[in-house]
Amino acid sequence: MNTLKPLTPICKKLILPALALAAGTLLLSCKKEPDLMEIADRIHSNVLKIDTHADTPLQMARPGFDLRDEHDPWKTGSQVDIPRMEKGELNGLFMVAYLGQGPRDSASHVAADEKMTEYFKLIHQAVADNGDKLAFAQEPKDLKAIADDGKIAIFIGMENGYPLGTDISKVRKFYDLGARYITLSHGGNNEICDSSTDPNGPEHGGLSEFGKEVVKEMNRLGMMIDVSHISDDAFYDVLEISTAPIVATHSSARALCDHPRNLTDDMIIKLAKNGGVVQVNALSAYVKTPVPNPDREADMAALRESFGPMQELTDERRDEYRAEMMKIREKYKADLATVADYVDHIDHIVNLVGIDHVGIGMDLDGGGGLADCYDISEIKNITIELVKRGYTEEAIAKIWSGNFMRVFEEIMQSGSTSVRPL
């Protein structure tokens, strides 16, 4: 019978380390490497996330709407509520007080001022009514402080300077009510500037004389100037006059989707040189040029013809219009752009001007929504796509909040107004 002989000292020196190395290699090979989803989950939970443009007050103004209820976006049109913000792990949101462009006589400006003021009151009341979940925010530092307290920070943006009329004192009024940016125009020209989409074309050739005063007053207050929706000429006028960086709270890249609402490469480059930031819009038609669909276009044309001009509709008829619009959007939801298409815009801006000038402004409850990120509960899909493309946690933190909050801080510090508690 064969017996094993003890290892000689020289054999021990040669063989035992080799066996240990082999065993270690085997153990390492058995360890599970973190997969993409684990990495995305960790990063999404770690970074502060803010969406800089949501038209949720339009939903909140509807009879019976409750922010504490979870809504089905395809049945109700609602894309943001507290349960879905929590599911998406959102830390902050700019709720937008929005008015479409209406008549421009003095009486209409007074009525617009009153209506806009009601939206501000609605936002403040919603935060007060949900104080266990939400907290009102006025300064950049509030985002982290409120997140650390386990709540969601609610900032206010004002979309369309139409309610200012020609009264420069209204800028301060809405600042004191909590507005931290004003989108200078919307779908039509107003007293401030030309819109990028007015059907009658430009009127002022950019900013009006009053518009130039508005820019200066916003600079004085330390208030962000939002160039989304304004005409190209108005954009360049703002850039020339403003002494502080400017922001586009919900705009995408025209090089990828040729729509006048988007920014050209030259505009993005100059905005970044000025120190500003572009928050990419998730409205599908601004993300990816729609493939022609005659049936969809016919349905939309019939809807518009049936209801007439939006500015002439009562609140009840607007609700009916939105309900019918949702039926059409659900019917053709396969036509929507995807998160991958959306992140293409982020890639484009990063490649053009670097990682420090891009962020997220989805335009939910105002037309935004992607096939695979249709409401606020699904925003982790954006983080997943960024991880897939090799973005680091540091870069993702900048995209989700760091860049915008840095610019917000710089603009606020450049103004002369002390933030006053509301």
Is the pLDDT higher at 306 or at 248? 248
Nearest CA to 239 among 315, 202, 184, 281? 184
Residue 336: phi and psi, rounded to 5, are -65, 150
**In angstroms, rounded to a whole number, what is the distance separating the alpha carbons of residues 135 and 143?**
10
**In angstroms, rounded to a whole number, what is the distance separating the alpha carbons of residues 152 and 223?**
22
Query: Is 375:326 a contact under the CB 8 Å cutoff?
Result: no
The pLDDT confidence band at residue 420, using thresholds 50, 70 and 90, is low
pLDDT tens, 60-79?
A: 999 999 999 999 998 899 99
Kindly state the average pLDDT of the residues 124-142: 98
Model-level pTM?
0.87
Identify the CATH homologous superfamily for domain 35-291+337-414: Metal-dependent hydrolases (3.20.20.140)
pLDDT tens, 143-175?
A: 999 999 999 999 999 999 999 999 999 999 999
Specify which residues 35 forms β-bridges with.
none
| Ranges of each domain in the chain | 35-291+337-414, 294-331
**In angstroms, rounded to a whole number, what is the distance separating the alpha carbons of residues 191 and 360?**
29
Q: What is the pLDDT of residue 4?
A: 38
Q: What is the pLDDT of residue 310?
A: 65
Q: What is the pLDDT of residue 290?
A: 86
pLDDT at 196 over 70: yes
Q: What is the pLDDT of residue 422?
A: 60
Q: What is the pLDDT of residue 22?
A: 44
Q: What is the pLDDT of residue 324?
A: 86
Distance between first and last Cα of the chain? 94
Is the pLDDT higher at 25 or at 253? 253
Kindly state the average pLDDT of the residues 353-375: 97
pLDDT at 229 over 60: yes
Kindly state the average pLDDT of the residues 101-125: 97
Least confident range from 15-24, 41-50, 304-313, 399-408: namely: 15-24
3-state secondary structure 190-237: CCCECECCCCCCCCCCCECHHHHHHHHHHHHHCCEEECCCECHHHHHH
